[in-house]
Structure 1
Amino acid sequence: MKGVVIDDKALLMAENDTVATALDDLEAGTELPVDTDARSDDSATGETGGASSRVVVLEEAIEFGHKIALADIEAGEKIYKYGEVIGVATADVPAGAWVHTHNCASTRGRVDREADDATALGAGGDPR
């Protein structure tokens, strides 16, 4: 996936992202149709999930370039953009809410944080 424009209003960079980026100043109540690819298996029927659609309604106005939660994100949960973890929710964030420093602690570019794995900076690994 190279990025998907959602209804000319937002940009989703990777399919596992939990946020999208506003492509314009968006008003509260704006609807974003989000396609999901449910890959769960139904053991009773042997069928796999298929693509489905849902609508995320903006909880508040969100300015151009800012992040929009595409699903409910609980405090402490990782936030994904570009297919990578960019931060951790510091509060519960409902779908359609603005994601920024008031509810997300960045994990990018932080050399003072604890490493999650042995390849992270400070454990002798490559920091890239």
Structure 2
Amino acid sequence: MIHFIVHDQHDSVGVVVVEGVEAGQEVTGWIMDQDKELKVKLLNDIPIGHKFAIRDLNEGDTVMKYNTDIGRMVQPAKAGEHVHVHNLKTKRW
């Protein structure tokens, strides 16, 4: 079962595509551009449609989604942690 998708091998986050994924669960993702699977153990419950780090991210790191820069980390996140407005900010302002 695929729990999350990653569009490009250079992305740093995955997007949950099913309901009910929970902290402690090992989830399976699909890296679309390479047609590969990836497994990550979640550190938080992640709502459907939300992002989580697929590798450790440090404060100041650029976050890539769909092979596009979507902002920078304002707090670190370990692989499996929720990435959202509390730790990711746009670079536009």
TMscore range, shorter length: 0.7 to 0.9
Instruction: Tell which has more relative contact order, 1 or 2 (C-alpha 8 A, sep 6+).
Output: 2
- Residue correspondences, number: 87
Does residue 24 (structure 1) correspond to residue 18 (structure 2)? The answer is yes
Q: Distance in 1 between matches of 2:64 and 2:26?
A: 21
Unaligned runs of 5+ in 2: 32-36
Unaligned runs of 5+ in 1: 1-6, 37-52, 114-128
Within-5 A mapping of 1:1-128: 7-25=1-19, 26-33=21-28, 55-107=39-91, 110=92, 113=93
**Where do 4+ consecutive residues of structure 1 move more than 2 Å?**
32-36
What amino acid does structure 1 have at the position aligned with 2:79?
A: A
User: TM (normalized to structure 2)?
Assistant: 0.82
> Which has the greater radius of gyration?
1
Deviations 1:80-117 (A, max 9, x none): 0010110100001010000000000023xx3xx4xxxx
Report percent identity of matched pairs. 30
Cα pair distance change 1:64/1:54, threshold 3 Å: closer
